[in-house]
Amino acid sequence: MAAYNIQAGGQLQGSSIMAIPFIDLGIQRERIGAKIEEAVLKVIKHGAYIMGPEVRSFEANMSAFAGSKHTLSCANGTDAIELILLGLGVGKGDAVFVPAFTFVATAEVVPMTGAEPVFVDIQADTYNIDPVKLEASIEAVLKEGRLKPAAIIAVDLFGQPADYPALSVIAKKYGLYLICDSAQAFGCTIDGKQPLEWCVATATSFYPAKPLGCYGDGGAVATNDDALMERLVSFRVHGGATATDAATMNYTHEAKYLNVRIGMNSRLDTIQAAVLIEKLNIFAEEIALRQNVARRYNELLGGKVISVPHVKEGYVSTWAQYTIEHANRDALQLHLREKGVPSAVYYPIPLHQQPGYSMFTSGTGDLAVSEAKSKTVISLPFSPYLDAATQDEIVAAVLSFEG
């Protein structure tokens, strides 16, 4: 039987040779595959392939899990962030503060709205946006006077929540929206509270490699803001009329034929919703299993590499990645490949050094931590079902490197 593995580059590959997967979806597939097949077949039979009943059911289930008043599903995690910005009215002349060390999607959506990203350095121990440097960047933008500070997008990198209590104080001080990009970390908590406790909205991704992933692309927004939710519904489907719009304009036909806003087309397929319903049923258990795997990695590698992941007191990571640091990272990656152990480097080029983003320089301060971490971080195979024997093999490969 073929072993299907998510490899480091994100491609789904099939092979008749059993190998260590970077992210193993096979065991989960064996566990709940029959339920997923039944759910998918149900969708195929009823035929409501777009915005069918499973979409509404999943949104309700996700709200219950996230403790949010509303959930709006969409086509992918990138759209989820853009929808929030559109819903908040962020646009031309606005500055949106984003970490320099993250995937490009976080910054990518900002120019789409007409606003400009401002890159902020990260904390050395968590890889998340640094509140002290954030405030310095806000002050720099205010001093320059060209842009108006409008929003902060904090990323929960590798699964650990950003320092939302500190970020919330800064957001309130300057009157900024605080947005959570939890594409890698849906389900993470601080003292038992999810990021939405401090944020106007949370965006997440259901890309297959994420802790909660579907069988294709998908994303969602969680929020407690009624007015924002109504606008998100509109922007998700071509800027169609909301209930408020229809009442105000005395419009009685289908909402999608009264286009009040310039929106997008970003709907979660019903089949993906059906998959996510089943995966969400076991998600809390999988988060707990992830803690055990990460703890064992730390015990085996602690003190033997530059650093192992640090999770702050009271914080719970969903461990989208297990990331260590090594002084000779690139040679280590080659060594691991030769040993049959896949790995990934997130992210070798910080956003402010990317060619497509070199024109965004407003408010940019010291980004030395992002630049340094991009040269040392490397992520090892990880899943909630990683067994001890395989984990020992991975660790042995790391420790056998003498470079």
| pLDDT above 70: residue 16 | no
**For the chain, how many structural domains are there in total?**
2
Paired with 122 in beta bridges are 129
Q: Are residues 148 and 255 in the same domain?
A: yes
Domain boundary among 242, 262, 280: 280
Paired with 73 in beta bridges are 220
Domain boundary among 217, 250, 280: 280
pLDDT of residue 11: 36
Q: Are residues 134 and 181 in the same domain?
A: yes
Long-range contacts of 236-245 (CB under 8 A, 24+ apart): 236/72, 236/74, 236/83, 236/263, 236/264, 236/266, 236/267, 237/263, 237/265, 237/266, 237/267, 238/263, 238/264, 238/265, 239/263
Query: Does residue 28 lie in a domain region?
Result: no
Q: Are residues 366 and 326 in the same domain?
A: yes
The dihedral through the CA atoms of 121, 123, 125, 126 has a sign that is: negative
CATH code of 357's domain: 3.90.1150.10
pLDDT, tens digit, 9 for 90 and up, residues 181-193: 999 999 999 999 9
pLDDT of residue 195: 97
Tell me the pTM: 0.94
What single-letter DSSP state applies at residue 359? T
pLDDT of residue 19: 85
Query: Does residue 137 lie in a domain region?
Result: yes
| pLDDT above 50: residue 17 | no
Query: Does residue 133 lie in a domain region?
Result: yes
pLDDT of residue 166: 98
Mean pLDDT of 147-156: 98
CATH code of 236's domain: 3.40.640.10
pLDDT, tens digit, 9 for 90 and up, residues 355-365: 999 999 999 88
Q: Are residues 88 and 216 in the same domain?
A: yes
Range of the domain at 93: 33-280
Question: Among the options 92, 148, 210, 339, which is catalytic?
Answer: 210
| pLDDT above 90: residue 313 | yes
Coil, strand or helix at 367: coil
| pLDDT above 80: residue 15 | no
Q: Are residues 248 and 383 in the same domain?
A: no
pLDDT, tens digit, 9 for 90 and up, residues 78-109: 999 999 999 999 999 999 999 999 999 999 99
pLDDT, tens digit, 9 for 90 and up, residues 231-283: 999 999 999 999 999 999 999 998 889 999 999 999 999 999 999 999 999 99
To the query of whether residue 375 is one of the catalytic residues in this protein, the response is no
pLDDT, tens digit, 9 for 90 and up, residues 333-362: 999 999 999 999 999 999 999 999 999 999
Q: Are residues 259 and 355 in the same domain?
A: no
| pLDDT above 90: residue 136 | yes
Helix H, strand E, coil C: the string for 48-64 is: CCECCHHHHHHHHHHHH
Q: Are residues 330 and 187 in the same domain?
A: no
